[in-house]
Amino acid sequence: MNNETLEFIQEQLEYEFDEPKLLRQAFTRKSYSEEHNGAYNNEVLEFYGDKALEFIVMKKLSEYFGETTQNGKYASQKTEGQLTEIKKKLVCKKMLAHRIDILDFADCLLMGKGDEAQNAQDQESVKEDLFEAIIGAVAIDCGWDAETLEEVVDRMIDIEYYLENGFQDDENYVDLIQTWCQKKYGYLPEYNIYELNDGYECIISFSNEFNGFSGQGYSKREARMNAAREAFDYLDEENEWILPIDEVGEPDIDRAINQLQELYQKGYIGEPWYDFAETYDDNGNPVWRCECHVSGSDTYWWGNYSSKKNGKKAVAYDMLRAVLGLEEDDEA
């Protein structure tokens, strides 16, 4: 691990080690130490970090959800069971691994050939161990100073954000925005990332309608996540998050008539209406010209069918796909 990597990690933590070798040790897997003459690894640091993390989380929970009353007693807004569940979510494997991803630390691990072959840096358990080892290294380096530990833990987890906003996975905001954009526009959002003096800024654009959601972070991943979170919050506040397809589901030819009607009742489209004309082919068989219209739009769908019932379903299905943006409109 070179000095540039050590400097990057300390900048992310906003903590400068008195003993940088402790930080290197926190990133050293046992597999690496076994291949390099028994170099010190992070297993014991992980043990201490687990305890230090638990202490800081408990301290934050006691301060956030309770206070000492005038008669000297502690009053809590949460029950023991509720606090236990919150604590579990804050220090669970998935959370710690996710925060390591945001900090861009996994690729800094020193691993043996076996770990490298298995891409161990991508495993949640390995990232969890790394998170705890870093806390352990900080604890020893700062002499277990509670204030310093709390600052580093806050930097690595941002505990108050989760206490205020819940535990929806931050990384999912990026996935949610991409899924929403794909459904609405048929393409993925555009991400532009710019380097700042103290980190990065990400700007997300979907279209002229939704443009310029920005977020900053110490890493590109964190900046992208924060921009996606801003976009999500805006869409949710403006009631844009739920798309028509979310209301009625994927087009189904047997349900298309009802699906169109549901979109009308919820205010997404004008009232659907149908027009029918019966003619006959050269053999005297009935042929139904069926049309589906939506009030307020000049576009309609039509076709010739042997059955009025099936024809109505078919044109309703075609109109539904057009309304949901799943097919190019063919204007009659």
For residues 141 and 18, give the distance between their C-alpha atoms in angstroms, rounded to a whole number.
6
| Residue closest to 43 by CA, chosen among 56, 24, 25 | 25
* Contact status, residue 115 vs residue 29, Cβ threshold 8 Å: yes
For residues 36 and 111, give the distance between their C-alpha atoms in angstroms, rounded to a whole number.
10
For residues 186 and 206, give the distance between their C-alpha atoms in angstroms, rounded to a whole number.
11
For residues 219 and 198, give the distance between their C-alpha atoms in angstroms, rounded to a whole number.
10
Residue type present at position 97 = A
Structure token digits, residue 176: 């949610």
Residue type present at position 307 = S
The answer to whether residue 50 is catalytic is yes
Marked catalytic residue, from 46, 101, 128, 132: 132
Marked catalytic residue, from 46, 50, 222, 291: 50
| Residue closest to 228 by CA, chosen among 241, 242, 245 | 241
Structure token digits, residue 211: 């443009």
Q: Residue 79: CB partners within 8 Å, gap ≥ 6?
A: none
For residues 211 and 221, give the distance between their C-alpha atoms in angstroms, rounded to a whole number.
20
| Residue closest to 34 by CA, chosen among 112, 149, 125, 135 | 112
Task: For residue 277, list its beta bridge partners.
Answer: 289
Provide the annotated active-site residues. Answer: 50, 132
